[in-house]
Structure 1
Amino acid sequence: MKKFLVLIVAIFLVFSLAACGSSNSTSTKADSNTGEKPSESAKSDFPKKPIKLIIPYGPGGATDVIFRLVAKEAEKHLGQPVVPVNMEGAGATLGARHVKDAKPDGYTILGSHDTIATSHLSGSSDFSFDAFEPISLLTKTINIPSTNSKSGIKTAAEFVEYVKANPGKAKISMIPGSTSHFFMAQFLAETGISTDEIRFVGYPGTGDEVAALYANEVDFSMLNIPSGKGFYEDGSLIPAGIAHNERLDLLPDTPTLIEQGINIENATNRGIFAPKGTPEEHIVIIEEAFKKALESDEVKNKINDELGSITSFIPHTEYKDFLDKQEAKLKEIAEGLDFKK
C-alpha cells in the first residue's frame, strides 16, 4: 500500500511540473507577444497630446506666418493640435536652444531655417544643425532688400550709389547672426561696400525690422513677401530687388538683383526640427503630417501665390544632406567677415 501511495504521489508531481513548464512557456510566449504589441501601439498612439511648435521669432514675420499656416493644416493629419509658440530673442537662438534641450519625445519641435547655422557661424550660438534631428524642409522664401519710400531710393543699385556718395551715413537693419545678417554681409561683399561705409542696426526679430524700416529708423532691410507685402501694396515700403534668378509674379515690376548687376540669389529655407534622440517613428509621423499639409491646394496656393515662397518638401532621410550643403555655402560667406561690426 505504501509503495502504491508513493507511486501516486510521484505521478502527481511529474504532471504538476509538466503543467508548470507549459504554463511558463505559455506565459513567456504571451509576454513576448504582449511585449511586441505595446511597441506597435506606442507608434500608432503618437501623438497623445498637443505638439508645441516653437517659432524663434516674434509674430508677423515670414517665419511666423508660414509655420502657423502649415501647422494648422498638419494638425488635421496628426489628430492633435499643433500649438505655435513664439519665443524670440538672442538672435533667434533662444527658441532653438529651448527645443535643443527639450525632452526628445516629439512633443516639442522647432520651426526655423538657416539661422541655426548662421548663428553658429557668426559666434552667436554654440550649436548648429547637427544638434537636432531634422524632420523635413517645407518652404523656400525669396528674399527682397527693401527701402522706405520716403528715402527716394527705389532699387538696390541706387542704394549702393547712395552709400558710396554718403559713406558712414546709411543704416542697415539685421537680426544678429540670422539670415538677414548674412544676406547683408553677402550684399556688401558683392557690391564692394565696406563695413566702414555703413552702420548695422540689430533687432530681435523680423517684425521689429519691418517696423524700423517703416519708421525710417533704417535705410535698408532684407524683407520678403510674407513680411513686406502689405507695405509694398500701400507704397510705404519699396521692394528694391528680387534675390532670385527671375522676377516674382507678385512683384512683376521689381527687377532681380542680377538684372541690376548684383550677382546674388538668396532664399530662406524653412523646415522643422526635433531634439536630438527623438524616436524615428515619431519623426516619421510628424514628417508625414506636414507633407500632407503642403499637398493641400489651399496651403500650397497661399504659400506660392500669396506669400512669395516655394513649397519644397524634403523628407528627413534627405534633409540632413541638404542642411550640410547649405551650411558649407554659409561658411564661405562667413569667412573673412567681422560679424561684430
Structure 2
Amino acid sequence: MLKRFLTVVLTLVVLLVGTASLFAAYPEKPVTVVVPYSAGGASDIMARLIAEFWKKYTGKDMVVTNVVGAEGAVAAQQMLTTRPDGYTVLWYHQAILGNYYLGVANIKWTDFTPACVVTKTARITAARADAPWKNLKEAIEDAKKNPKKYVYGAGAGGIAYLEYAPVEMAAPGAFRVVPNEGGDAQRITALLGGHVDVVPLALVSAVQYIKNGQIKVLALHDDEPDPFIPDAPTSASLGLPELNFPMTNTFFFPPKTLPGIVSEFNKIIAKIVADPEFKKKLAEVAYATPFFKTGKDLEDFWKKQDAIYKKAAETVK
C-alpha cells in the first residue's frame, strides 16, 4: 500500500514539474495580438508599442493584426472560436460592454479568459473655449434653467453614446441630443463649428485643441485625476459618480485558456509596464499610463465597469 502511495505521489510530482516546465518555456513562437480597430488608432498604437517591448523581453515577435468591424464585435466573435493555446490574444476595451448592453453583439467580457488590463487613457467632456461654464456641473445647471437651449453631441452608439447617460440622469431632458455617426474627429468639427455645445471625446483626440486653446475640458470621466490634464475636474468631484468611463485596454485570451499560460503571459507584461522607457513612450504616443491589474483586481475592475455600462444603457434606451 505504501509503495503504491509513493508511486502515485511521485507520478504527480513529475506531472506538476513537467507542466510547470512547459509553461515556463512560453512563448516558444510569435504571439498574435488581434486589435479590433484600424491601424493608426490609439488601440493599435499601444498594441504595437507593447509588441516592441515583448520582443525585448522574450526574444520572440508579437504580431499585431487588425480585424475591423462593429465596434470590435467582429474580432471578438472570431476570438471566441480561436484555439486557446496562448498564441492568439485579443486587445480590447470597454466597447465590449457598450456593444453588449446596446444590443450590437451578444458577447460578454466573461465569455473570454481575461489576462490583464494594461493601459488607461482618459475620456472627457469638452466644450468650446468661449463656453460660459468652468465645468460640466455648471453646464448642467445652466441647461436645467434653459431647457433645450444647448446641444449635446453624442455618439450614435457605443461609449460616446452611453457617456450621455449620467448627464441625462442629472438633468432629464435639459439638453437637445444630436447623435453623431462619426467618431471624435466629427464631434470636434461639429463643436468648433458651433453645431453642438458639449461633446464626449478621448483625450488623445482632443489634446491639440486643448493646447491651442480651442476647447476646454469640462469633466474627466474618471474618479482619479489624469496626469496629462491634472487640473481637469473628475466626475467624482462634480458629483457625477456614474460618469466613470476611462478607456482601459485589456488582453483577453480565448475561452478555456489554461491558467498557467495566462500566468506566464502576465509575468512578461508586468516587466513591460514597469519599464521606464515603455512608460515614456506610452505617454508620448497615446497620452496613456500603465494600469496593470490581474486576477481578482482585474475581475473587480471589470465588474464595476460592467455595472456602470449596464445602468447607462438602461438610461438611454
Name the TM tier (shorter chain). Answer: 0.7 to 0.9
Rg: which structure is higher?
1
Equivalent positions of 1:191-270 (< 5 A) are 191-193=171-173, 197-203=176-182, 209-216=183-190, 219=196, 220-245=198-223, 247-257=225-235, 262-263=240-241, 264-270=243-249
Is it true that 1:276 corresponds to 2:250 in the alignment? no
- 1:95-133 per-position Cα deviation (integer Å, ceiling 9, x unaligned): 222222222222221111222222112211111012100
Pairing partner for 2:118 from 138, 142, 152: 138
TM, length-normalised to structure 1: 0.72
Rate the CA distance shift 1:44–1:175 in 2: closer, same or farther, 3 A. farther
- 1:148-202 per-position Cα deviation (integer Å, ceiling 9, x unaligned): 55888875356544697573973524262x333222222322333468x312123
Q: Which moved more, 1:186-195 or 1:112-121?
A: 186-195
Kindly state the Cα deviation for residue 135 of structure 1 after the two structures are TM-superposed. Answer: 0.3
Residue number in structure 2 paired with 1:185: 165
Q: Contact conserved, 2:37 with 2:66, CA < 8 A, in 1?
A: yes
Secondary structure of the structure 1 residue equivalent to 2:291: strand
Kindly state the Cα deviation for residue 276 of structure 1 after the two structures are TM-superposed. Answer: 0.4
Residue number in structure 1 paired with 2:5: none
Rate the CA distance shift 1:154–1:216 in 2: closer, same or farther, 3 A. farther
Q: Contact conserved, 1:65 with 1:226, CA < 8 A, in 2?
A: no
Residue number in structure 1 paired with 2:151: 170
Pairing partner for 1:75 from 41, 55, 65: 55
Tell me how large the CA RMSD over aligned residues is: 3.7
Q: Contact conserved, 1:113 with 1:271, CA < 8 A, in 2?
A: yes
Equivalent positions of 1:25-64 (< 5 A) are 42-64=22-44
* Matched positions, count: 301
Rate the CA distance shift 1:325–1:99 in 2: closer, same or farther, 3 A. same
Secondary structure of the structure 2 residue equivalent to 1:269: strand
Pairing partner for 2:70 from 76, 83, 90: 90
The one-letter code of the counterpart of 1:231 is Y
Q: Contact conserved, 2:97 with 2:108, CA < 8 A, in 1?
A: yes
Equivalent positions of 1:107-126 (< 5 A) are 107-126=87-106
Pairing partner for 1:331 from 306, 310, 314: 310
Q: Contact conserved, 1:172 with 1:198, CA < 8 A, in 2?
A: yes
Rate the CA distance shift 1:307–1:153 in 2: closer, same or farther, 3 A. farther
Residue number in structure 1 paired with 2:109: 129
Percent identity of the aligned residues?
22
Rate the CA distance shift 1:216–1:52 in 2: closer, same or farther, 3 A. same
Is it true that 1:105 corresponds to 2:85 in the alignment? yes
Equivalent positions of 1:284-295 (< 5 A) are 284-295=263-274
Unaligned stretches of 5+ residues in structure 2: 1-11
Q: Contact conserved, 1:163 with 1:170, CA < 8 A, in 2?
A: no
How far apart, CA to CA, are the structure 1 residues paired with 2:286 and 2:266? 22
Kindly state the Cα deviation for residue 35 of structure 1 after the two structures are TM-superposed. Answer: 8.7
Rate the CA distance shift 1:250–1:125 in 2: closer, same or farther, 3 A. same
Unaligned stretches of 5+ residues in structure 1: 1-31, 204-208
